[in-house]
Amino acid sequence: MNIVMLDAYTTNPGDLSWNNFNNLGNLTVYDRTPSDKIIERAKDADILITNKTPITKEIIDCLPNLKFIALMSTGYNIVDYIYLKEKAIPVSNIPSYSTDAVAQLVMSFILELSMNVGLHSQSVKSGEWSECADFCYWKTPLTELTGKTLGIFGLGKIGRAVAERAKAFGINVVAYVPRIHGDEPEYIKILPLDEMLNISDVVSMHCPLTPETEGIVNSEFISKMKEGAYFINTSRGTVVNETALADALNTGKLGGAGLDVLSTEPPQKDNPLLSAKNCFITPHIAWASFETRKRLVSILYDNVRAFIDGKPQNVINK
């Protein structure tokens, strides 16, 4: 069984091991695969492993031995899973591996926006405290989170994990969900979208990318938000109209933003959010803690082994 990994580096830059995959077949690992090398490298693969290297219908038709695709991600829009279903080729993803890490980054953004730790630390190191006439100073308004309101757009596993952490900080939690399932925690108040936006001091996005959510954070959406509110996005970059968000930050309509995802990754140099006021952007790292990646690799191994054993698991195109 030939197993080919097309873009292994981001998942494992060297601090984890692929050795146990050798027990499952003949393993070939590529750190990165440019688009013009995909077919050449994948043509003999029985099992193909990919993270962000796209596998389109045209590529699939050039892979005569392909029997299974194992994703190193939860999202699966990078592969033509519908066409693969037609060809009876299962695709497995990695579900629920990064819930805690993503929630941790959301809270990191909220804490940074409310206290500006990085800014104040840098000012101290640049000598401002040493030269200060008083025993303390602050360069921006500082915000106490207790009693503030967090609005969560989407209440899946990550949204609920964020809510739990926010509650521990004394933050009131409200949420918008397209459909109420009846198992929502009692401390989370479910509201219509407009009302949630209007009362929230922080709005955090936790929804999948669908035709309904693509570009939903636009000028109209932002106009309904509380003046000076913070905006957090760790879901998908394209749920946001980036020009509208940059305008809202630059005009002061919003007080700040924390983003781990952008519409194009890596971003174009002219992306308006790169120069927007009080906008913190991390390079899609919510999933990237050591513990989280170790968990991902373990689930990936189990997915491949389950397929070889004839009992594929975590299949998204049944």
- List, in order, residues 6 or more apart from 8 with CB less than 8 Å away: 18, 29, 30, 31, 49, 51, 72
Task: Please check whether residue 258 is in contact with residue 232, taking contact to mean a CB–CB distance below 8 angstroms.
Answer: yes
284 is catalytic: yes
The values of phi and psi at residue 237, to 5°, are -60, -35
CA nearest neighbour of 110 among 292, 234, 287, 283: 234
112 is catalytic: no
Catalytic residue among 160, 236, 293, 295: 236
Catalytic residue among 144, 164, 214, 265: 265
Task: Kindly list the strands in the beta sheet with 91-92, ordered across the sheet, starting from the edge strand earlier in the chain.
Answer: 26-29, 2-5, 47-50, 68-71, 91-92
93: its two tokens: 């993803």
236 is catalytic: yes
Catalytic residue among 120, 165, 284, 305: 284
Task: Kindly list the strands in the beta sheet with 149-153, ordered across the sheet, starting from the edge strand earlier in the chain.
Answer: 188-190, 172-176, 149-153, 202-205, 229-233, 254-259, 279-281
Task: Please check whether residue 244 is in contact with residue 215, taking contact to mean a CB–CB distance below 8 angstroms.
Answer: no
Unique residue bearing structure tokens 């100073």: 137
Task: Please check whether residue 253 is in contact with residue 227, taking contact to mean a CB–CB distance below 8 angstroms.
Answer: yes
- List, in order, residues 6 or more apart from 142 with CB less than 8 Å away: 114, 115, 116
Kindly give the interhelix angle for 99-115 and 157-168, rounded to the nearest 10 degrees.
40
**What are the catalytic residues?**
236, 265, 284
